[in-house]
Amino acid sequence: MEKINSINPATLETVGQTEQTPPEKVKEIVLNAHKAFPQWRGSGLSKRSRIIKEAQQLLLAHKENISRLITLEMGRPINESLVLEVSGAIDIMGYYAKRANKFLDDRRIPLHHMLFKRRKSYMYFEPLGVLGIISPWNWPLLIPMGIIVPALLSGNAVVFKPSEFTPLIGHKIRDLFIEAGVPEHIFQIVQGGATQGKALINAGVEKIFFTGSTGVGHNIFQQCACLLMKNVLEMGGSDPAIVCEDADLDITSSGLIWGGFCNCGQNCNSIEHIYLNEKIQDRLIALLIEKTKQIRSGNGLDNDTDMGPLGNQAQLEKMEDFVKQAQEKGAKVLCGGNRIDKKGYFFEPTLILWDKSIPQPINKEIFGPIVLLTPVKDDDEAIALANHSTFGLASSIWTGSKKRGEKLARRIEAGTVMINDVIVSFGIAEAGWTGIKNSGIGWVHGEKGLDEMVNIKYINRDPQSHTQKLWWFPYTTKMIESMKKGLDLLFSKSISKRIAAIPGVLKSFAGYLFINRKKKDKM
């Protein structure tokens, strides 16, 4: 069987190997999940919550080893692996396990119409079945955990395909849940690349959850459309930051640097464009250059490393190509812009001054340690440039005014807006995460994320089970006249019309009661 090599992008050494799943076996894996699903669905929410809590404790106990494995496989600094990925995953497990009853209990729907006031009306939540999860390499733990946890908790079976660049973390995630008590066929793993991903979509799952590039997301959407398959797609972004002239420039510059270069810029919600007010451009740009030059690049296993390598060779070549094209268009590299002379896939943290007279590359995701700076005259110009993008994932506003920040946040076109911070909204369990435009379809995290895992069924019960309804056959002239009067009584703006309708409505209602009493007496 063909093997997948996991390569450390900092040293280019092999971290380990795993077996690639033959595409023809994927249907069998999904079939086994379907067979196991009914028993898991019927296992009870309290039992599933206990299992999630046990998996949480296992992750907590192995936090150091798992943080190290994340760093070995995809390169990010060990501090980020622990503080952002492992910590976020532990929190989201506890968040869902603790709130499972609240989120999944029947939700009563009060009815406003006087004809239906006495009815029992509620939403009932039932698992969809077998869910396919296709996850990326840049956040190999937190991204899939934000989907796997609510999927299992709500009673679904999961078939998980991690990225071929981070297969070992994928196996480790499954091991945690199996050790915690999830049945083997309820959580299965498919290892491989695009071929295995396509096979999973065609294998009979009820819904696909994909996180990755917009190009691949479009292909998956088309594949799902042909099958009439539900999907949630969290795709790319070209995320803007708007800096107002009243911002605290020292704090803001530190936040922007972290937001642009955390995880070597390989976040779908990393800052890629900074639109800064012309009044503060000299001071802010000087601070950004100074702080960018202080970033320490190196092996993520070293505790004093700030920025690790890019994830793979293709990413490194993409950065070199972007800088070359930027310079050809007339943009000015302020610092960085080159490959770092080390064995791994290292690239300098880079700031590029991109004047607004040059067409903005707003519809292209950089996804690396390159940030573009564009001075603007005012908030309106910044908003116009930011909203011109075909992406709409995340964004940030930097200002000293609460009122101004919230006003701008409402104007920007994005699924998430942070004011005086960046990126961490994805680690806030309650914060539903979505994209608009070409950045996504559907939700993850929060209560809305869990709703994506279930069929929300509406149930309505009339307690008067022996009552003939007004709107049933046979239709009569008297019925039409009664309904007209009823509509006047309920909805007319004219007080006189409403009063005039009362006798007719009462007469019709009395006749209705009489007919139903006669039917009941005959029973």
Tokens 């995630």 correspond to what residue?
173
Q: What single-letter DSSP state applies at residue 239? A: E
In angstroms, the Cα distances linking 393 to 216, 263, 267, 421, 425 are: 16, 18, 11, 15, 12
Strand partners for 160:
133, 189
Q: Which of 206, 26, 234, 60 is nearest to 144 (CA)?
A: 234
Strands 230-234, 440-441: pairing kind: antiparallel
Q: Tokens standing for 384?
A: 């116009």
- Does 264 qualify as catalytic in the annotation? no
383 SS3 class: helix
Catalytic residue among 54, 164, 234, 365: 234
Q: What single-letter DSSP state applies at residue 265? A: G
395 SS3 class: strand
Give the C-alpha separation, 203 to 214, whole Å: 23
Do 18 and 3 touch, CB atoms closer than 8 A?
Answer: yes
Give the largest Cα separation in the chain, rounded: 94
The end-to-end CA distance of the chain, in Å, is: 71
Catalytic residue among 85, 264, 268, 452: 268
Give the C-alpha separation, 279 to 285, whole Å: 11
Pure H helices in 194-339: 194-201, 214-226, 249-261, 281-293, 313-329
Do 407 and 399 touch, CB atoms closer than 8 A?
Answer: no
Do 515 and 509 touch, CB atoms closer than 8 A?
Answer: no
163 φ/ψ angles, rounded to the nearest 5 degrees: -65, 150
Q: What single-letter DSSP state applies at residue 338? A: S
- Does 268 qualify as catalytic in the annotation? yes
Q: What is the dihedral of CA 42, 43, 45, 50, to 10 degrees?
A: -170
Q: Going edge to edge, which strands form the sheet with 207-211?
A: 187-189, 157-161, 130-134, 207-211, 230-234, 440-441
Query: How many Cα atoms sit within 13 Å of 104 on the Cβ side?
Result: 26
In angstroms, the Cα distances linking 356 to 189, 278, 362, 372, 377 are: 47, 12, 12, 11, 10
Please name the amino acid found at residue 357: S
Vertex 49, ends 43 and 50: CA angle to 5°? 95
Query: How many Cα atoms sit within 13 Å of 312 on the Cβ side?
Result: 12
Do 264 and 75 touch, CB atoms closer than 8 A?
Answer: yes
Do 63 and 141 touch, CB atoms closer than 8 A?
Answer: no
**What residues act catalytically?**
234, 268
